[in-house]
Structure 1
Amino acid sequence: MRTDDFDYFLPPERIAQTPVEPRHASRLLVVNRATDQLEHRHFWEVGDYLRPGDLLVVNHTRVLPARIFARKPTGGKVEILLLRQEEDQVWEALVGGKRVTAGLSLQLEDGASVKVEAVLDGSRRRLRFEGPVQAYLERHGQMPLPPYIHTPLSNPERYQTVYAAQPGSAAAPTAGLHFTPELMDALRAKGVNFAAVTLHVGLDTFAPVTEDDPQEHVIHTEWCQLSAETAAQIEAARQAGGRVIAVGTTSVRTLESAARAAGPGQSVAAYSGPTDLFILPGYKFRAVDAMITNFHLPRSTLLMLVSAFAGRERMLAAYAEAVRLEYRFFSFGDAMLIV
């Protein structure tokens, strides 16, 4: 297995720059693993493939307006993108600017300061803020769109799921962006249930694998949580013959991380903590029966994950067909249902 086994050609114009309206009007490519059949639908028709008793597991993380700006004592401008909270006022961040060294004090827009506690790898830094960060972000923070989106977002809420509740992500769990309250109500009326997990997404989700052998790639940890209540919902759905359908690769990683903590006879166990689970072809899924996902970057860990679930050749064939039929790709793009 090589990293270039997960490469594919994508014309730049296929990268969606803006979301569709309404959310559920995006296209939906349905991939049937049992028959190899592809079907071309719209997301509002996803219920045609769901059954009463199925459980959709969504990631209800909320994206932080985590891009802020500061100045060095010399007056030089510094861009800060918060990635992960380590303590109450301590964050790991990407910092753009020259000579941002340990011990340096940066001035924020409201006059408060933030200190560089440590230089990590590359442009990562550990920062200590003077006061609560959340309130500052609400006043001054900007939404951190992925690097391949160049069109300004007029409504920041369009980069949040409609069920986003737990602040902490540097990026959206984009498979969930297709759901509207109306669609969710219609699915519930059909007997489809919803359960929530949390995984705070880091920017490494967009990073391509640079090693020739993907097994040498070190995936960064992300914090996730699956509650006892959600674990009970999953067990009840399984016992009643329903399927566990992960909405997004972040939900997949949370479910499978919780499966690693499960005891005999359990699908998952309640879990809270970091996960470094890197799913490659050959992985045996324990908690996920089907998934809803977007179209992922070439050579990415996420394309490797869906290839592990559905087969690399099947996925690359589906991607080639999606390119041919001019589907929209990546965060604001169209969706795929793998059953």
Structure 2
Amino acid sequence: MKTDDFDYDLPERCIAQEPAAVRDACKMLVMNRETGELEDRIFRDIIEYLEPGDVLVANETRVMPARLLGAKRGTGGQAEVFLLRQRMGTAADAYVATEGPDGALGSNQQAIWEVLVRPGKRLKPGSGAIVDFCDAEGNVALSAEIVDWGADSGRGERIARLTTSRPSLDEALHAVGHTPLPPYIKHYAGDEELYQTVYSRHESSAAAPTAGLHFTPELIERLRAKGIEWHTVELEVGLDTFRIVDEDDPEKHTIHTEFYTVPQETVDACDAAHARGNRVIAVGTTSVRSLESAYDRELGCLRARNREATSLYILPGYTFGVVDALVTNFHVPRSTLMMLVSAFSTRENIMAAYKHAIESDYRLLSFGDAMFIE
């Protein structure tokens, strides 16, 4: 197995630059995971492929305003800080006494975060590098001091201390932050809420669980009315999941840790579905990773988890313990997500499906059309 096995030619014209006008009116490519048989539908038709008693499991995480655009203190040079994940067990959510420019002591909120920075050459630990971020009135609402190197410093990863005089860091982030979009979405200036699922709750992710973008409240209600259950998990989506694998051997690639939660209610619903012969359908690869991470292979059962860490890396040859069908988007070439969906079916089936989608003018990637693998 080589990383090249999961590569394909992605034409620029196929990369969706904006969401569908109506969430559930996008295209949906239905694929039989065993035979590779394909069918072209629209997303709201998914109700025809589900039976009463089936269980849909969606990731209810919400995207943070994680993209911060500011100026380096002292030089005024433009700088960007992208929040990846908060370091737990640090000074988060604690007031600390700090000395202001006039010598007066004030109370500030602080937290330590793993971040990406640009330009990396100008934002190095030990250089006193601080970036200030202003609100709409031009007042500094948040500052980021670069205090250490990150795990992948060559890609701009750093450790930053965030500080604000606002009542909370959350308030400061919403005053200065922007919802991050993937770099292949070039000029979208529409409603940032369209990069959130309609059922999202807790802001904890650096990227959206995009398979869920196709659901509307009305479609969810129609599914429930048919007897199809809707349950949730939460996985705090990081950027590492979507990165292209650089190694020739995919098994040498390491996925960074993400945190996930699987409530007992979801565990009970999945167990009951399997007991009566129904299916568990994951909405998105993040739901797959949550459910499969929570599966105890020694005991042969799903167990509730509360913000536990996972670095589960699903490659072809993996045996799925929980998930029976998958709602997903079309993924970046050479990504771990291409490997995951290939593991759920076969590499040959997935590559044939992607070829069909490109030839049929499907819209691909985060704002693109859907795929249902059953």
Q: Structure 1 length normalisation: TM-score?
A: 0.96
AA at the equivalent of 1:198: E
> Aligned partners of 1:107, 1:192: CA distance in 2, in Å?
48
Distance in 1 between the 2:114 and 2:306 partners? 23
- In the alignment, the residues of structure 2 paired with residue 209 and residue 77 of structure 1 have an alpha-carbon distance, to the nearest angstrom, of 30
1:118 aligned to which of 148, 151, 164: 148
**Once the 2 structures are TM-superposed, how far is the Cα of residue 276 of structure 1 from its aligned partner?**
0.5
Q: Counterpart of 2:76? A: 75
- Which amino acid in 1 is paired with 2:146? V
Alignment correspondent of 1:143: 179
Q: How far apart, in 1, do the equivalents of 2:207 and 2:51 lie?
A: 31
Asked whether 1:44 is paired with 2:40, we answer: no
Distance 1:86 1:55 in 2: 34
Task: Give the SS at the match of 1:182.
Answer: helix
1:94 and 2:98 aligned: no
Q: Which deviates more, 135-144 or 44-53? A: 135-144
Give yes or no for the alignment of 1:314 onto 2:336.
Answer: no
Task: Give how far 1:99 is off.
Answer: 2.1
SS of the residue corresponding to residue 45 of structure 2 reads helix
For structure 2, list consecutive stretches of 5 or more residues without a partner in the other structure: 93-110
8 Å contact 2:133–2:176 — kept in the other structure? Answer: no
Provide the residue aligned with 2:22 in structure 1: 22
Q: Deviations over 1:95-140 (max 9, x none)?
A: 1023212142332323343221212222111111123321112111
- Report the aligned-residue RMSD: 1.4
More moved, 261-270 vs 100-109: 261-270
Q: 1:130 aligns with which of 146, 153, 163?
A: 163
The one of 196, 200, 204 equivalent to 1:168 is 204
1:288-299 mapped onto 2 (5 Å cutoff): 288-299=323-334
* Range with greater deviation from structure 2 (67-76 or 91-100): 67-76
Post-superposition Cα deviations, 1:2-21, rounded to whole Å, max 9, x if no partner, equal 00011111211000001112
User: What is the rounded CA distance, in whole Å, between the counterparts of 1:107 and 1:144 in structure 2?
Assistant: 18
Q: How many Å apart are 1:267 and its aligned residue? A: 3.4
Residues in 1 aligned to 2:206 and 2:262: alpha-carbon distance in whole angstroms: 19
Match of 1:241 in 2: 277
Deviation of 1:236 (Å): 1.6
Mapped partners of 1:270, 1:263: distance in 2: 16
Greater gyration radius: 2
Residue 286 of structure 1 aligns to a residue whose secondary structure is coil
Give every structure 1 segment of 4 or more consecutive aligned residues whose post-TM-superposition deviation is greater than 6 Å: none
Contact preservation (8 Å) 1:262, 1:268:
no
**Displacement of 1:230:** 1.4
Residue 190 of structure 1 aligns with an amino acid whose one-letter code is K
Unaligned 5+ segments in structure 1 are none
SS of 1:130's equivalent in the other structure is strand
How big is the shift at 1:211? 0.5
Check whether the contact 2:291–2:302 (CA below 8 A) recurs between aligned residues. no
Distance 1:58 1:164 in 2: 9
C-alpha spacing 1:192/1:153, structure 2 compared with 1 (3 Å):
farther
Q: Distance in 2 between matches of 1:101 and 1:232?
A: 48
In structure 2, C-alpha distance between the alignment counterparts of 1:263 and 1:304, rounded to whole Å: 25
Letter in 2 for 1:209: V
Distance 2:289 2:42 in 1: 26
The Cα of 1:151 is off from its aligned counterpart by: 2.4
Distance 2:185 2:173 in 1: 21
Q: Does 1:224 align with 2:257?
A: no
Worse overlay, 95-104 or 211-220: 95-104
CA contact (8 A) 1:201 1:222 kept: yes
Are 1:197 and 1:251, in contact at CA under 8 Å, matched by a contact in 2? yes
**Aligned-partner Cα distance in 1 for 2:76–2:33:** 57
**SS state of the match for residue 320, structure 1?**
helix
Match of 1:325 among 334, 357, 360: 360
- The alignment covers a number of residue pairs equal to 338
Distance in 2 separating the partners of 1:215 and 1:190: 42
Aligned to 2:54: 54
1:106 equivalenced with 2:131 (yes/no): yes
Which one is further off, 218-227 or 154-163? 218-227
Q: 1:203-255: per-residue Cα shift (whole Å, max 9, x none)?
A: 12321111100001111111111112211121122112221100000000001
